[in-house]
Chain A
Amino acid sequence: MIAPAKPDLVTVNIDGQEIAVPKGTNVIEAARLVNVDVPHYCYHPKLSVVGNCRMCLIEMGMPAVDPATKAPIMDPATGKQKINWIPRPQIGCGTNVSPGLHVKTTSPMVKDAREGVMEFLLINHPLDCPICDQAGECKLQEQATGYGRGYSRFVEQKNVKPKRTQLGPRVTLDDERCILCSRCIRFSKEIAKDDVLGFVDRGSYSTLTCYPGKKLENNYSLNTVDICPVGALTSTDFRFKMRVWFLKQTNAIDTESSVGANTVVWSREGTIYRITPRRNDEVNDTWLADSARVLYKVVKAADRLAATETIEALVARAAALFKSAPGAIAVVGSGRSTLEEHFLTRHLANALKASAQLVSRVGQGDKLLISADRNPNVRGALVTGLIKTLPTQQLTDLAAQIDAGKIKVVVAINEDLSAAGLTAAQLAKVAIVYLGAHANATSAAAKVVFPTLTVFEKSGTLVNQQFRIQKTLKAVPAAAGATDDLVVLSLLVAAAGGATLPAELASLWKVIAAEVPALATMSFANLPETGLVLDATPFAALPFVEGETLHYKPAQPAVAAATA
């Protein structure tokens, strides 16, 4: 995957446009660079090339040379070198560029070939677009419109195949819609390393099947639904829920681990319907774990907190608690908070003269898109200076200080203190100010509870394991009775006697850029879609827990990997 520093460039001519592309590029990718669309089904940039759909047929030719002398043969009519066109179409996906390659994607032969392929693909394809989930984002639909003949000559009976096979707990297969591109088979084999899918039977009876007795149940099974060019593989969760063209797309980040996979959140009228991956070749390619796709369910969870008092009343009560115990306050932040929240939390801790700490969450990494560190933004806390060392899983120090009576007030931000090892007795001994979206033992024991937002209801940035700072945007409006974490934090900073800090991202980023040298040149608005990699050298000595994942190699042998 590591590109050579200076790739050898090859000049090719696509529909009359000259372009220099790296050696090894295929015709589909080269054409994409000159904005020429070569329609395809089976080809996927992140999977092996099989060339079985034949949709990407193109006409190609090479400059003519004299066989004996190798001297170029000139065309007297144009004065340019003659092109020897191959009299048969070639597949674009399986043809790598070579110097001087000429490609035609709009010639009559190519048009004929595409119409022929489309006609064969549609022979046994059912006409159930009106009830098909893929409608609106279906390659077959788009390319039938773009490159098909427009009417059917087929008068025979269509094949009947299984209509609703459960391939696994999350994927439902409609075999009649399948065009046998084999993307899902290659994905399962090459990326998910769970080779359970295959084609059985022969000819027009070919059927995609999971091996009898096995299931497509790996944590990446829903990627097969994403890459299916037609509506054959559908998500059991999303099936028949919503037409895709009604949905609003919001770019976000997967918060289940420090990989920070890029996602698109699809919502309508304040309700999220699904989460799909967004291509980022440096982070997640085009993949996303299944577990990341159900995270949106926290937005409408039954245990969401809602305010019963005004925010001013809550802040006043928190301020009274802060005044009651000067010097005996602890702040527990969360590795799930955004970088902006970490920044304000640091200000809050400074204003309260309190120590700040996070709670670490460590799980088993899957070597693909889930890392061992299940907090998405521990590095954001390091960058903003909220913490200096890596968090621990248990708050034993804090527990000891509470027992010793040194801590009287704890500000807990989105962290359940009992899950982090504090006993009910210890929780009862202190006054807790809790900021969080969902009810838990800490919110139940807290004196003041600020209901805040889930990651889908707010914008911000997260710093992933590569120290890549990435934007996640607000997909749906805040739940009733919940306040943006940034608003709550800036009010608390002011109540604790700190500076007046803006809660709005654009203005807050001016303060962040001024105070955090690593982020000095950035603003929220101009952060690129694929993120920016920050300098990790100040933190090189820290023993991060992540093992190897896609596009990430730990700098030093990881602790979790060694003990696993």
Chain B
Amino acid sequence: MNLKPETLSKIDEVITHYPTKRSATLPLLHLIQEDVGHLPPDTSEWVAAKLELQPINVLEVITFYPMFRQKPIGRRHIKVCRTLSCALLGGYKTCATFEKEFHTHLGEVSPDGEVTVDFVECLASCGTAPVVMIDDELHEKVDCAKAKQLSDQIKAEAKKR
């Protein structure tokens, strides 16, 4: 595990928040995912050693929660809402637009490594459907045109780099 020093210090700090070390499993996994972008294969063993557990105990947690990723994702994570209100107002089309723009499929890293598109459950902004979250930023009323515009914006930023 190659974690940043500040992640390591956060990890040591967060363990002290709980009466038993085992309880820190979820926060630790979140911290590692924030740092690395996903949970690499040796996460279970590393966390287990840290919290005095067996690796299988950690693996059970990692595989239970769909939001823990065991594979790397693109530089940005595009989450398109698939739940009722968004679906009624064209969420499927929005999602297809992103897939087309980046020549990728759901859950995969786009060929340029720039994004991963996911079709996710409710993002809790039904009033402004369809909604999309790009990393931590919420974009409202994303129809096909706005999806195209957002994609172009990401591509432009990628070019600058």
Contact = CB atoms under 8 A, between A and B. Distances in A.
B16 to A, nearest CB: 25
Interface in A179-223: 189, 195-202, 209-212, 214
B13 interface: no
> In the complex, which range does the number of interface residues on chain A fall in?
10 to 19
Contact of A211 (B56, B64, B66): B56
B156 to A, nearest CB: 38
Contacts of A209: 56, 59
Contact of A198 (B57, B65, B66): B57
A290 B64 CA distance: 32
A210 B56 CA distance: 8
B60 interface: yes
Contacts, number: 33
Contacts of B57: 195, 198
Nearest to A203: B64
Contact of B63 (A196, A197, A202, A210): A202
A200 B60 contact: yes
B63 A200 contact: yes
A209 to B, nearest CB: 8
A551 to B, nearest CB: 26
A199 B60 contact: yes
A209 B65 CA distance: 17
A196 B48 CA distance: 12
B56 A196 contact: yes
Contacts of B56: 195-198, 209-211, 214
Contacts of B107: none
Nearest to B65: A202
Contact of A196 (B54, B64, B65, B66): B54
Interface in A202-252: 202, 209-212, 214
A181 B14 CA distance: 33
A211 B55 contact: yes
B116 interface: no
Contacts of A199: 60
A200 B66 contact: no
Interface string B62-100: 011110000000000000000000000000000000000
B46 to A, nearest CB: 14
A201 B55 CA distance: 15
Given A196-B54, A211-B54, 20 more contacts: A195-B54, A195-B56, A195-B57, A196-B56, A197-B56, A198-B57, A198-B59, A198-B60, A199-B60, A201-B63, A202-B66, A209-B56, A209-B59, A210-B56, A211-B44, A211-B56, A211-B59, A212-B59, A214-B55, A214-B56
Interface of A: 189, 195-202, 209-212, 214
21 contacts: A189-B54, A198-B56, A198-B57, A198-B60, A199-B60, A200-B59, A200-B60, A200-B63, A201-B63, A201-B64, A202-B64, A202-B66, A209-B56, A209-B59, A210-B56, A211-B44, A211-B54, A211-B56, A211-B59, A214-B55, A214-B56
